[in-house]
Structure 1
Amino acid sequence: MSSQVPSDASDSDQDKPAPPAYDELDVGVQGGRQMIPQPGTNSKIYFEDRREPNIVLYKWFAQFHFKCQNVVQLMREGLHWTTDNVAWEDGFIGDTSKTCHYHYTPELLQKIKNSGFCWTRHYFLQDIQHRPPRWMAHFQFHAATSHTLTGIRLEDISVENVFNALAMTDDANLIYLYGRHDPSGAFNAIYDDMPMDGWWPWPKADEES
């Protein structure tokens, strides 16, 4: 999102340094397998050697895009959200081609459209426990019909639905990568294999090293 994180600045805050540029976290989510799998091709997204799951096998596909001032802090403390974080009045459903947000790569956007996912539902969230908020998020769900999108309930989605995730610093340095299709390639450049809570899909405390 291009908007700035709101701040309740007072006169005493004027001498404080400016907040850091935003770090980013992208989480890919899938759910609801189609009754009849359709053929599809692998795409090259983010990295030339990275294989994405076949999104056309699913009824819907989503990307959760977080912007935060300190992604490392979210690694230590966990990334948590509930429906209480959703700004319901800001949500809408629209044409995928016209409403997909800019942070999608052209390859991914084209794959979404080629898969017949012509409808997109948008949710906007933010941290409500801290001021200023530590993070803001834009959730985008794609499907072939608006009926599928209106049947999705955020409270029914869990970290188990995540198929990939990556985190980058404000200067585009990759610091975290996870792919369900290739868990051996996962890494955390900051905390290695330290277990992380919430919507970090890897590593978890109950996983064997």
Structure 2
Amino acid sequence: MAFWNFDLPLLNSVRRSLGFIANEAEMAPGPTDQTPGPSTAGPPPPHGDQQEESPSRIWTIDFKFISDRQGVKRLGSVHSLVDWTAYLDIETRDLAGIMRDGLFLTHDNVREEEGRLRSDYWPEDKSWVYTRSYTIVDSRWSGHLYVCAWDVRPVANFRLHHLTADKVEMARVEDEEENTVYCYDVDAPDYSANFIYDDMPMDGLWPWPKEECEVEGQPGQPSQPQEDS
């Protein structure tokens, strides 16, 4: 089944090359109550009458985005001057809350002083790959965002509002025992599943499920209010 084949080896290779992990067991920093949350234009507040998960339990959320998937399919290759691929890798102790209220990423979540760019030569492709990395934090989650391209210009021009739900190619959520609790693959939509909330529509960057009218008329859901490009 295609949705099990998330590109984690590439993601871990990027994380390791940037120095974020020293080995496979090391993970992103845990969420903290002292970190800033999204802007008020982002997700709604959590439901006070809902029971939260145990604070000792951690889930890992992995998303893969492609800037222009239809264009890549049409051309059969990426446009090195404009196309990018992004990997969102976060941990949370409140997965149910993020599913209920939506997953939103804004500039308020970025630790600006930790931004960096790395270039690596890939002999098999005889080309350089450029990776821009962000450290991102919220009161509910924390982790990293990696934006990769074959030219430095796409990553230099990348902005967070370019991430939208319709650009998600694959998504997966696992618990600490590596049990899958959510999966999505744009090429295998029939295998999408949420093992916590079933078909409950989810806002923000979650690619599935969405409201029926949204799926039919507006497949993209921005991670924050749209800005000028």
**Do these two structures clear the TM 0.5 threshold for a shared fold by scoring above it?**
yes
CA contact (8 A) 2:118 2:130 kept: yes
Indicate the residue corresponding to 2:150 in structure 1: 144
The separation in 2 between residues aligned to 1:191 and 1:149, in whole angstroms, is 35
1:61 to 1:191, Cα distance in 2 relative to 1, 3 A: same
Work out whether residues 165 and 178 of structure 1, in 8 Å CA contact, stay in contact via their aligned partners in 2: yes
User: Contact 1:24–1:65 at 8 Å: present in 2 too?
Assistant: yes
CA distance in 1, matches of 2:182, 2:146: 21
Match of 2:168 in 1: 162
Matches within 5 A, 1:161-180: 161-180=167-186
Pair 1:25 & 2:61 matched: yes
| CA-CA distance at 1:4 after TM superposition | 3.4
Matched AA of 2:58: Y
- The yes-or-no answer on 1:5 pairing with 2:41 is no
Alpha-carbon distance in 2 for matches of 1:202, 1:35: 21
Which of residues 109, 121, 134 is equivalent to 1:85?
A: 109
Q: 2:208 aligns with which of 198, 202, 208?
A: 202
Deviations 1:71-120 (CA, angstroms, capped at 9, x unpaired): 122112211121221111111000347xxxxxxxxxxxx9xx74956110
Q: CA RMSD in A?
A: 2.8
**Which residue in 2 is equivalent to 1:102?**
none
Counterpart AA for 2:135: F
- Cα distance between partner residues in 2 of 1:123 and 1:153: 11
CA distance in 2, matches of 1:179, 1:200: 12
Q: Deviations over 1:102-157 (max 9, x none)?
A: xxxxxxxx9xx749561100011111xxxxx2101311011112122101122233
Amino acid in structure 2 at the alignment position of 1:3: P
- 1:35 CA displacement: 11
Counterpart amino acid of 2:66? Answer: Q
Describe how 1:55-94 pairs up with structure 2 within 5 A.
56=78, 59-94=83-118
C-alpha separation in 1, matches of 2:209 and 2:161: 23
Q: Assess, with a 3 A threshold, how the Cα gap between structure 1 residues 91 and 188 changes in structure 2: closer, same or farther.
A: same
The answer as to whether partners of 1:119 and 1:142 remain within 8 angstroms in 2 is yes
Q: Percent identity?
A: 29
Decide whether aligned partners of structure 1 residues 140 and 171 sit closer, same or farther in structure 2, where only a CA change above 3 A counts: same
Match of 1:118 in 2: 129
Distance in 2 between residues matched to 1:38 and 1:27, nearest whole Å: 22
Check the 8 A contact 1:94/1:119 in 2, yes or no.
yes
Mark the runs of 5 or more structure 1 residues left unpaired by the alignment: 9-17, 40-55, 98-109, 128-132
CA distance in structure 1 between the partners assigned to 2:126 and 2:135 by the alignment = 24
Q: Does 1:190 align with 2:216?
A: no
Tell which deviates more after alignment, 167-176 or 19-28.
Answer: 19-28
2:44 matched residue in structure 1: none
